[in-house]
């Protein structure tokens, strides 16, 4: 994950600065503040700022309970209770801001989560860097035969080589055309004084979705956990899952008790439908239950059996 000399200098400067505050701070998160966590081949995630900690979640919850309930539960137990019973507003008391560098096609998936404040790098104003995402060979897979939006068997040999060649050649050709249309390099210098360049907002159309963009993304803890529960799931696309996993590592440093409850009840738990719960109760009672008599579709049944660790 190459950082430019300017980016490295900025990170060093920010990490060298310290400030005295009465706000709650988290030493484990302070230790990685501003640092770039590598993701994919050229991407990264950086924590830029945050507000609150596990204690802020507890404080908000106890305010809602009223006076005289301060010792009802220990902090850890209370946070687990809130997560288990989906009491979400106390988690909204904490906020975090990330700087993310990511391929454009990942950004277009990510932006579907409309519960954050986002400011993206403007290719109308600035020139995009010549950086594009090329998957690792183990991530090159054929279309899944079972899932219309998933991957199947990994490509190998000549087939994989050709795909990588096409991805790289197309991206390199697109960037050459981009620079030619702009008539300026990434430093804004004119390449041919005798020719007028195309507007940046038009020239960017030529770039493919694997080029990298950047944004600042700020959200509260509740909505961050919603994002992570979907994007860190095994069924999520690998590329956005890689970012989600890097962000979970920052959440574990920031709010460790909340992260523990999140893993216990959200990432590691399962939600059952009414029919699914009925099947589980019948199985526990020793009954033999088939998909046909369960009232569930084949897909629902398969998902339930996978959740229960049964073959079907």
pLDDT digits (tens, 9 = 90+) for 126-156: 899 999 999 998 888 877 676 666 677 888 8
Residue 1 has pLDDT above 70, yes or no: no
Is a pLDDT exceeding 80 seen at residue 311? no
Q: Which residues of 237-256 are buried (b: 16+ CB within 10 A; e: fewer)?
A: eebbbbbbebbbebbbbbbb
Are 90 and 153 in the same domain? no
pTM for the model:
0.90
Question: Residues 237, 250: one domain?
Answer: yes
- Residue 8 has what pLDDT? 86
What digits encode the pLDDT tens for the residues 191-235?
778 787 888 999 999 999 999 999 999 999 999 999 999 999 988
Q: Please tell me the total count of domains within the chain.
A: 3
pLDDT at residue 65 greater than cutoff 80: no
Please tell me whether residues 3 and 59 are part of one structural domain.
Answer: yes
Residues 10, 88, single domain; the answer is: yes
Both 66 and 202 in one domain: the answer is no
Mean pLDDT confidence for 17-32: 91
Nearest to 56 by CA among 78, 85, 72, 71: 78
Residues 185 and 237 in one domain: no
Residues 223 and 102 in one domain: yes
The whole domain housing 170 covers 134-208
- Look at 174 and 156; give whichever has higher pLDDT: 174
Query: Of 208, 229, 246, which residue is a domain's last?
Result: 208
pLDDT at 304: 92
Domain match, 187 and 80 both: no
- For residues 197 and 67, state if they share a domain: no
Residue 172 and residue 261 in one domain? no
Between residues 158 and 144, the one the model is more confident about:
158
231 catalytic residue (yes or no): yes
Q: Does the pLDDT value for residue 172 go beyond 90? A: yes
When comparing pLDDT for 270 and 64, which is higher? 270
What is the 3-class SS of 33-83, one letter each residue? CCCCEEECCCEEEEEEEEECCHHHHHHHHHHHHCCCCCCCCCHHHHHHHHH
Catalytic-role residue among 231, 241, 263, 299: 231
pLDDT at res. 185? 77
- Which residues are paired to 216 by β-bridges? 99, 119
Residues 170 and 295 in one domain: no
The edge-to-edge listing of strands for the beta sheet with 117-120 is 37-39, 43-51, 95-103, 212-220, 117-120
pLDDT of residue 72: 44
H or E element at residue 220: strand 212-220
Domain CATH number, residue 90: 3.30.1360.170
pLDDT of residue 264 exceeding 50 = yes
Structural tokens at position 166: 């096409």
Q: Which residue has the tokens 């400030």?
A: 19
Q: How far apart are CA 244 and CA 228, in angstroms?
A: 6
Are 49 and 162 in a shared domain?
Answer: no
């Amino acid at each position: 994950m190459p950082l430019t000399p300017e980016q490295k200098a900025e990170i060093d400067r920010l990490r060298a600065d310290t400030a005295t505050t009465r706000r709650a701070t988290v030493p484990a998160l302070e230790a990685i503040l501003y640092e770039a966590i590598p993701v994919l081949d050229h991407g990264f995630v950086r924590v830029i700022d945050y507000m609150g900690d596990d204690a802020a979640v507890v404080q908000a919850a106890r305010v809602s309970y009223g006076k005289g309930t301060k010792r009802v539960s220990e902090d850890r137990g209370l946070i687990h209770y809130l997560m288990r019973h989906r009491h979400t507003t106390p988690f909204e008391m904490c906020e975090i801001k990330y700087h993310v560098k990511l391929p454009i096609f990942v950004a277009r998936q990510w932006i579907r989560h409309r519960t954050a404040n986002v400011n993206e790098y403007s290719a109308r104003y600035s020139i995009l860097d010549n950086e594009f995402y090329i998957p690792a060979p183990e991530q090159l897979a054929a279309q899944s035969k079972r899932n219309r939006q998933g991957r199947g068997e990994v490509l190998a040999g000549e087939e994989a080589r050709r795909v990588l060649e096409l991805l790289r050649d197309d991206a390199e050709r697109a960037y050459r055309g981009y620079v030619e249309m702009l008539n300026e390099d990434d430093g804004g210098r004119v390449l041919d004084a005798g020719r007028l360049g195309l507007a940046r907002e038009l020239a960017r159309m030529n770039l493919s979705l694997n080029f990298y963009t950047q944004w600042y993304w700020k959200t509260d803890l509740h909505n961050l956990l919603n994002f992570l529960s979907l994007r860190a799931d095994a069924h999520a696309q690998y590329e956005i899952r890689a970012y989600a996993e890097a962000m979970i590592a920052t959440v574990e440093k920031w709010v460790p008790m909340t992260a523990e409850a999140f893993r216990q009840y959200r990432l590691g738990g399962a939600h059952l439908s009414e029919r699914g719960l009925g099947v589980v109760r019948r199985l526990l009672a020793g009954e033999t239950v088939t998909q046909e008599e369960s009232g569930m579709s084949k897909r629902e049944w398969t998902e339930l059996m996978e959740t229960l660790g049964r073959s079907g």
